[in-house]
A and B are shown apart, each in its own frame.
Chain A
Amino acid sequence: MQIRKKVAVTYVALSGLSTLLLCAVMVFLFKNNNQYYFLKRLQDRAKIVSSIHYQNDPEKAEYYRQLKSNGLEELIDENDFVLPVNGKNSFEYNTELNLSPEFFKEALANGSSWVEDDSRYHYAQLFEENGKKYIVVITARDRRGNTSTMYIIRIMAIGGIAFLVLAYFLGRFLANTVLNPISRINGEVKRISASNLHKRLEQPENTDEIAVLTDTFNDMLDRLETSFEIQANFINNASHELKTPITTIMAETEIILQSKRSPEEYQEALSHINAQATKLGNLTESLLKLTRTGYDGNKQVLDVARMDELLMDVKSDLDKLFPDNNISLRLDEMPDNDEYLLLPCNRPLLELALSNVISNAVKYSDNSVVFVALMADSKQLSIRITDIGIGIPKEDLPFLYEPFFRGKKASRYTGYGLGLPLAFKIIRMHNGTLDIQSEQEKGTMATITFKRSGSDSL
């Protein structure tokens, strides 16, 4: 059964049940109320009959009789009986009354009693006057009460059926209202395929469950798109980027194998091959690491690193790669409290990210001075990398984090356009931000910030 139908049926069933309960309670209370007022009327009559019976003065008795017949509303089949009580449990019985002994026993014991038999009520009340006891029994038919009860039951039955029909339509309306956003999401998701993964679901303005679901879908699409992009980029660009070193290696080996060479020539060729193979190795490793950064960081066991130590390690690695570099590590804004320098992280990956950002600064500033400043306080830890290099053109800034993107100016420098996207992903994975400000021909300032608020883990 469709959820839409289920919601409608459940709504009808629940409303039907609650309406039925309400009707039952109302009929019960109505009937009780009718009974109460009818008995009240019988009670009034019993009192008047008792007064008539005990008046010695015929005028007064007549007055009461007149009051009873003219002052009170007429009852159907009304009869009254006065039964003198002789002893503790005996009284003068009237044969016209066909009532059970329990009825009289209760009247004698409690002072009053009543019984209903096919809408005919019998009310008995015990009176005492001048030491003499007697039971007054009033009998009458409550046809009107019965009729009105039947009438109200009919109204409720018809109303109930009408309400159930209405509830069915309301249920359908409710199901539509609840499920329409889901149908909308379903329709939108159906339109998204591998060819248009950049499309996103329209985000509702409120913050209800549907907005959360939309958000979750969009997040999932983000991850899917990234993963597809990486795969597509790998396949599209690997042929371009990996072809160069492979072709070089093949050409080098073909040439060297054509004839016998001197040991120096072999050595030179092998060193060329080695350089190209290293390049190839680095590139594939970068690509693999980029794909790995999509892992679930919450299940990681992290290293707790001191950021100053980590930066020093990065600098010593870069010193080997770029012997002529001019990196100046500025630790003069260090906090008094060493603990602020601690950061739970994946140390090799974070080292790689910092190394990529700093080596970019070194590379694109032609070994001019690069300042690396470390600042930390109780709220955040930040690293600012400033160079006075070629800078980044404004039009290139939005594409900086796209894998394999190479800026116009950067094309004369060696690189694959993988370093910065990788660094960005790693930093984001550590709940950090990478902010790049740049002015062409003046320099670039990259700021990496790790917030310390709430959870500082991945």
Chain B
Amino acid sequence: MKNILIPTVLEKDTLASVESAISYANGQNFDLVLLLLNETDNAYSASAYLRNSKPAFSASQQKTLEDCQRLALKFDNIKLHVQRQSSISAPLLRNLLSVLEIGFVIVPKSFRESSKKINRHCLGLLANSHCPILNLCDAPTSEMQKALYLEYAESKLQVSDLQQRLDGKFAFRIVSQARINKQEERSLDQLLLETITRNDIDLLVETRKPTKVKLGKKFPSFHDDLKLPVLSVFEEIR
């Protein structure tokens, strides 16, 4: 099995991400990599950079890290690593994912909402990687059984193709599908909420296509209101 990457700002929800990763692994051996990104100031020399950089964690961050380590220690099949990066770029991330043999990325909500430029840049770069990305919500359930597929109008991936692609990697089953038109996505909110309640859906699945990484104003996604984790699967442009 390939390893799991969790980009994090070491907020409390990192622990939930680790739990999700453990649940996903289902007893198989894997390495869990916590990716910590630091923004660095410009320095005129290496020694000045070392003097100015602040690698120390705050008390709450330290506690979260210890909790994660404690949780990982309970399982023999998991090895927890902490990867610290002071800069990130597309080739750097690509090589990092390749070297660490990452096959799945779990993004905690706190990281997604982080206003740090480097974190947002990293999210944009991750979205262009081929790894499936699980965007967690506030209170994710560790067991994900039933999924709702959000099929965007421009997507070419049909539900059977998607299920085929995901089979063997994930335990959930797609039980509902909604065709989403970007212009009218809000009009479906009520219908989606009804379907989620009726079919006990605990995961949303969507596809994403490579896009240009932009660091502009972040608009809230329509599925933030649905309060469910979203699994984003990379779709090749054909």
When the two chains form their complex, are residues B176 and A298 in contact, meaning their CB atoms are under 8 A apart?
no
Residues of B within 8 A of A339 (CB): 160-161, 163-164, 167
Asked if A14 is at the interface of the complex by the 8 Å CB criterion, the answer is no
Q: Which of chain A's residues 265-310 have a Cβ closer than 8 Å to chain B? A: 298-304
Q: Which of B4-12, B102-110, B186-194 contacts A (4 or more CB under 8 A)?
A: B186-194
The one of B148, B159, B167, B179 in contact with A298, judged by C-beta atoms closer than 8 angstroms, is B179
Distance in angstroms between the alpha carbons of A25 and B121 in the assembled complex: 57
Q: What residue of chain A has the Cβ atom nearest to residue B181's Cβ?
A: A298
Q: What residue of chain B has the Cβ atom nearest to residue A341's Cβ?
A: B160
When the two chains form their complex, are residues A300 and B160 in contact, meaning their CB atoms are under 8 A apart?
no
The one of B149, B175, B188 in contact with A299, judged by C-beta atoms closer than 8 angstroms, is B188
The one of B158, B160, B188 in contact with A301, judged by C-beta atoms closer than 8 angstroms, is B188
When the two chains form their complex, are residues A456 and B175 in contact, meaning their CB atoms are under 8 A apart?
no
The one of A303, A337, A340, A455 in contact with B175, judged by C-beta atoms closer than 8 angstroms, is A303
Asked if B199 is at the interface of the complex by the 8 Å CB criterion, the answer is yes
Residues of B within 8 A of A304 (CB): 149, 159, 174-177
Distance in angstroms between the alpha carbons of A337 and B187 in the assembled complex: 35
Asked if A452 is at the interface of the complex by the 8 Å CB criterion, the answer is yes
Known: A337-B164, A340-B160. A457 touches B175 (CB 8 A): no
Q: Quick one: CB contact mask for A424-453 with B, threshold 8 Å, 1 for yes? A: 000000000000000000000000000010
Distance in angstroms between the alpha carbons of A455 and B21 in the assembled complex: 34
Q: What residue of chain A has the Cβ atom nearest to residue B199's Cβ?
A: A303
When the two chains form their complex, are residues A457 and B164 in contact, meaning their CB atoms are under 8 A apart?
no
Residues of B within 8 A of A303 (CB): 175-177, 199
Asked if A334 is at the interface of the complex by the 8 Å CB criterion, the answer is no
Q: Quick one: CB contact mask for B179-216 with A, threshold 8 Å, 1 for yes? A: 10000100110011011000100000000000000000
Q: Which of chain A's residues 316-352 have a Cβ closer than 8 Å to chain B? A: 337, 339-340, 342, 344
Q: What residue of chain A has the Cβ atom nearest to residue B149's Cβ?
A: A304
When the two chains form their complex, are residues A301 and B175 in contact, meaning their CB atoms are under 8 A apart?
no
The one of A298, A301, A452 in contact with B192, judged by C-beta atoms closer than 8 angstroms, is A301
When the two chains form their complex, are residues A301 and B176 in contact, meaning their CB atoms are under 8 A apart?
yes
Q: Count chain A residues whose beta carbon lies closer than 8 angstroms to a beta carbon of B.
A: 17
Known: A302-B176, A339-B167, A457-B151. A452 touches B191 (CB 8 A): no
Q: How far is the CB of A387 from chain B (nearest CB, A)?
A: 30
Q: How far is the CB of B150 from chain A (nearest CB, A)?
A: 10
Residues of B within 8 A of A299 (CB): 184, 187-188, 191
Residues of A within 8 A of B199 (CB): 303
Residues of B within 8 A of A457 (CB): 151, 177, 179
Q: Which of chain B's residues 134-181 have a Cβ closer than 8 Å to chain A? A: 148-149, 151, 158-161, 163-164, 167, 174-179
Known: A304-B149, A304-B176. A456 touches B191 (CB 8 A): no
When the two chains form their complex, are residues B174 and A301 in contact, meaning their CB atoms are under 8 A apart?
no
Interface residues on B, range: 20 to 34
Residues of A within 8 A of B177 (CB): 301-304, 344, 457
Q: How far is the CB of A456 from chain B (nearest CB, A)?
A: 5
When the two chains form their complex, are residues B163 and A342 in contact, meaning their CB atoms are under 8 A apart?
yes
Q: Quick one: CB contact mask for A237-264 with B, threshold 8 Å, 1 for yes? A: 0000000000000000000000000000
Q: What residue of chain B has the Cβ atom nearest to residue A306's Cβ?
A: B173
Residues of A within 8 A of B184 (CB): 299
Known: A301-B191, A304-B149, A457-B151. A452 touches B160 (CB 8 A): yes
Distance in angstroms between the alpha carbons of A319 and B195 in the assembled complex: 29
Residues of A within 8 A of B148 (CB): 301
Residues of A within 8 A of B164 (CB): 337, 339
Distance in angstroms between the alpha carbons of A304 and B177 in the assembled complex: 6
When the two chains form their complex, are residues B195 and A301 in contact, meaning their CB atoms are under 8 A apart?
yes
Q: How far is the CB of B190 from chain A (nearest CB, A)?
A: 10
Distance in angstroms between the alpha carbons of A300 and B163 in the assembled complex: 20
Q: Which of chain B's residues 88-112 have a Cβ closer than 8 Å to chain A? A: none
Q: How far is the CB of B161 from chain A (nearest CB, A)?
A: 7
Distance in angstroms between the alpha carbons of A299 and B148 in the assembled complex: 15
The one of A300, A337, A344, A458 in contact with B159, judged by C-beta atoms closer than 8 angstroms, is A344
When the two chains form their complex, are residues A456 and B187 in contact, meaning their CB atoms are under 8 A apart?
no
When the two chains form their complex, are residues A452 and B178 in contact, meaning their CB atoms are under 8 A apart?
no
Q: How far is the CB of B72 from chain A (nearest CB, A)?
A: 35
Q: How far is the CB of A340 from chain B (nearest CB, A)?
A: 6
Known: A339-B160, A340-B160, A342-B160. A300 touches B191 (CB 8 A): yes
Q: How far is the CB of A293 from chain B (nearest CB, A)?
A: 18
Residues of A within 8 A of B175 (CB): 303-304
Distance in angstroms between the alpha carbons of A302 and B150 in the assembled complex: 10
Q: Most chain-A Cβ atoms within 10 A of its Cβ — which of B148, B159, B164?
A: B159
Residues of B within 8 A of A337 (CB): 164
Q: How far is the CB of B141 from chain A (nearest CB, A)?
A: 20
Q: How far is the CB of A368 from chain B (nearest CB, A)?
A: 35
Listed from nearest, the 5 A-B pairs whose CB atoms lie closest are A339-B160, A301-B178, A339-B164, A344-B177, A301-B195
Not counting A301-B176, A304-B175, a sample of 17 additional A-B residue pairs whose C-beta atoms are within 8 angstroms of each other reads A298-B179, A299-B188, A299-B191, A301-B148, A302-B176, A303-B175, A303-B199, A304-B177, A339-B160, A339-B161, A339-B164, A339-B167, A342-B160, A342-B174, A452-B160, A456-B159, A457-B151
A sample of 12 cross-chain residue pairs with beta-carbon separation below 8 angstroms, ordered by A number, consists of A299-B184, A299-B188, A300-B178, A300-B179, A301-B176, A301-B178, A303-B177, A304-B159, A340-B160, A455-B179, A457-B151, A457-B179
